Structure 1
Amino acid sequence: MTSIDQAVLELPAATPASRPAASPAPIKTEPSVHGNLRRARRLPAIAVLLAGLFILALVVAAAAPQWLTPHDPLEGDFLAVLQPPGGEHLFGTDRLGRDVFARTVHGARYSLCIGLGSTAVSVFFGVLLGVVAGQRNRLLDESISRLLDVISSFPGVLLAMLVVIFLGQGMANIAIAVGIAGIPKFGRVVRAQTQVVRNADYVTHAFIYGRSRLQVFLRHVLPNVLVAVPVTATIYVGSTILATSGLSFLGLGPQPPTPEWGVMLAESRDVLRVAWWPGVFPGAAITLTVIAFTVLGNDLQRRFEGRSA
């Protein structure tokens, strides 16, 4: 045996404790995963903030449009017909020389009023029918459910057109027409919620403690049923504004020279080949309004259901 082999045999055996612990290899993807999660949580918050700011701007435009533009939306200038955006006219002018930005700002009042009015009609009658259908009367439940099925069997825009033709044109009539088309949406939601709340334990305990039907309904059933209505209504406002603009585009809503977004789109058809701005800006206002109310309504629904972003 050589001296080298003897030296190797005399070395102490390496115990598990004496062996250096192998350091785990760093996971390179972990920081990026956490970063993506943080960004994913941040994006909905930014979207909700932007949606809220845009809706706030719409409210200001509807309440005090003179704060945003000094121009008269009905005053035309034949020396400034179809001027492109820029300079004195931020969004340009239309075929009569009217300021497009001023008409878009003043149009927020008509679109919001009609949208909120039609939503109020849908909420009122939807809640009324849904609460009655959710009670224990089987005949009323079947009758109201079939009525909601008949209303929802028609396309919303077509039903609104029929109601407008029957009632006549005007802001109030178009709000009623669009509101009738939305009654089944709220009626079904409230009916299902009423049935859930009616069978809850706290309602049963209230009856055991001697509360009357009216007291139980007003103090326990109705407040818990109405909790989900604002969430659905917020999302529905955007749909009503879109439907209202469509009816106005077809000539069934407010009539020219009213600065309503649908009317502005209808008036821009004749000059769209030579001037894009009279139709693009009111169309963008409709699109952003629908997106803003949808984003805000979805966030309210997420918070109502207790889900994380």
Structure 2
Amino acid sequence: MKEVISAKTVWQAPELQANAQRRGREFDVSQLFVYASGLVILFYVLCALAPQWVAPYEPTLMMTDKILSPPSSTHWFGTDYFGRDVFSLTVYGSRDSLFIGVASVLVGGLFGGALGAFSGYIGGIVDTILMRFIDIVMTIPGILLALAIAAALGPHLFNIILAVAISAIPGYARVMRGQIMSIKSRPFITASRSIGTPHRTIILRHVLPHSWSPLLVMATIGLGSSILIGSGLSFLGLGIIKEIPDWGALLSQGRGYLTVAWWICTFPGLAITLFVLSVNLIGDQLRDMLDPKTSRGR
């Protein structure tokens, strides 16, 4: 018997080793992308917090002798129709774009998470009414809902944040409600109720600490979606009206020059794409780390 097991082990050894090496390569590649995404996000944060350290020119500086200059060593992203450096505009525009994304995710996540937690924990007719209302709101596309709210409130920074946050609340509420309903039926919650533990204590000490991870993953991935929606509103003329445009406004300003100066809207668009891709990769990594089923599968 030992000889049979030994022979079988020897026969399977090359295959097992190859599988282990393949998993190691996949792990290394995925980790490399995650680290690169982290560096990209840190660079964007630096651009938003201290754009003067990154941008080579003032965003309002008009160099009339370099109007519509293509990308070069002095102007990496070229210049626009006013002679402004597009790279500097992109760097300074990241401040409002990232602020809209982060603020809307915080507002939407807090309100949506609280609504979903309340609905899932209370249950009954309250849960039914709230979830049917959420279902109705979710039938409206997020960008369309945000567009309607922004058009009604007017082009202002906080109105844009509110519009993007409201469009994201139903998704957060749904995720949090499902998580709460799964947790409140577990034995340790039932035991806490049986000994007379107040509902407030059960929610704060037992339910919420076990339910925040899916919301965190959704908020991380939702950051990219919020920036896309905010940029879309600015592109349509419902964003912030400022001397220094955000990414969506840069795209809108450059669309009329796409055939003669493609760089005006191409590089801000690439900036949005790179940020959303980086955030999604970080979100996928968080999901793999916080989801025990995924961890066991790996």
> TM-score, normalised on structure 1?
0.87
Structure ranking higher in helix proportion: 2
> One-letter code of the match for 1:220?
H
User: What is residue 7 of structure 2 aligned with on the other side?
Assistant: none
Structure index of larger Rg: 1
Alignment of 1:124 onto 2:75: no
One of 24, 45, 54 as aligned partner of 1:59: 45
- 1:7-86 paired onto structure 2 within 5 Å: 34-86=20-72
Pair 1:274–1:214, CA change in 2 (3 A): same
**Residues of 1 paired with 2:177 and 2:19: CA distance?**
43
1:240 is aligned to 2:240? no
Cα deviations by residue, 1:160-199 (Å, 9 ceiling, x for unpaired):
1110111111111111111111111110111111111111
Q: Does residue 264 of the first structure (1) align with residue 250 of the second (2)?
A: yes
Q: Is 1:277 paired with 2:298?
A: no
Q: Give the aligned partner of residue 200 of structure 1.
A: 186
Within 2, Cα distance between the matches of 1:85 and 1:173?
Answer: 35
Give how far 1:113 is off.
0.2
Superposed displacement of residue 89, structure 1: 1.3
Query: Does the C-alpha gap of structure 1 residues 159 and 26 become closer, same or farther in structure 2, counting only changes over 3 Å?
Result: closer
Query: How far does residue 28 in structure 1 lie from its aligned partner after superposition?
Result: 8.2
AA matched with 1:161: L
- Summarize the alignment of residues 87-236 of structure 1 with structure 2, pairs less than 5 Å apart: 87-236=73-222
Q: Distance in 1 between matches of 2:59 and 2:113?
A: 38
Assess if the C-alpha contact under 8 Å between 1:123 and 1:186 holds in 2: yes
Q: Unaligned 5+ residue runs, structure 1?
A: 1-23
Is there any run of 5+ residues in structure 2 with no aligned partner, and where? 1-9
1:159, 1:177 within 8 Å by CA — same for their partners in 2? yes
- Return the offset for 1:202: 1.2
Report how many residues are paired: 287
Is the 1:193–1:225 Cα contact (8 Å) retained in structure 2?
yes
Deviation at residue 27 of structure 1 after TM alignment: 9.2
| Equivalence for 2:5 | none
CA RMSD of aligned residues (A): 2.1
| Aligned equivalents of 2:212, 2:276: Cα separation in 1 | 24
Percent of residue pairs identical: 38
SS in 1 for 2:128: helix
Q: Does the aligned pair in 2 maintain the 1:256–1:263 contact within 8 Å? A: no
User: Residue 27 and residue 191 in structure 1: after superposition, are their counterparts in 2 closer, same or farther (change >3 A)?
Assistant: closer
- When residues 26 and 220 of structure 1 are mapped into structure 2, their CA distance, relative to the original with a 3 A threshold, is closer
Q: Distance in 2 between matches of 1:160 and 1:69?
A: 31
- Superposed CA deviations along residues 36-85 of structure 1, whole A, max 9, x for unmatched, are 33221211101100110000001100000111123111221111101111
